Amino acid sequence: MKTKGQIFILSVLILGGVIALGLIIITVFTSHLRLSREARYSLQAFYLSDSKAEKELYKQFNGEDLGEPSECNSPEYGDQCQFQLSCGHLAPGVECRLDTQATYEGVTRSSQYYFPGS
């Protein structure tokens, strides 16, 4: 009779250890998945910021407005793209800085470009 009680207690301890190990593994994988998703969103936000900067530079040098990058100000993701040109207009010999910022799925990344005056 005593042996059956010991086997039950041992079984419960082993089962508890397996469940604890499973929870630890799930926690680790969940955190890695979250980091992976945030890295993807960060990269997308950087590309949005860079795309906005390229379109603004094209507009400054060629006089044509290509419009917003298609992903900017999208109600689907809540994306936002902003830019600021410190000198108003790029011209030879004029010191200028272009700042862009984009948000994708709550992750914001910025780019800054500096044009020294000659």
Q: What is the pLDDT along the chain (118 residues), one digit of tens a residue?
A: 567 778 889 999 999 999 999 999 999 999 999 888 888 888 888 888 888 778 777 777 777 776 666 666 665 555 677 777 777 666 677 777 888 888 888 888 888 888 776 5
Q: What is the pTM assigned to this prediction?
A: 0.62
Percent of the chain predicted with pLDDT > 90: 19
| pLDDT value, residue 106 | 80
Please tell me the total count of domains within the chain. 1
Domain assignment of residue 85, given as a range: 2-115
Tell me how far apart the alpha carbons of residues 39 and 53 are, in angstroms, rounded to a whole number: 21
pLDDT of residue 32: 92
CA distance 35 to 74: 24
SS3 6: helix
Please check whether residue 112 is in contact with residue 97, taking contact to mean a CB–CB distance below 8 angstroms. Answer: yes
Looking at the DSSP bridge assignments, the partners of residue 110 are 101
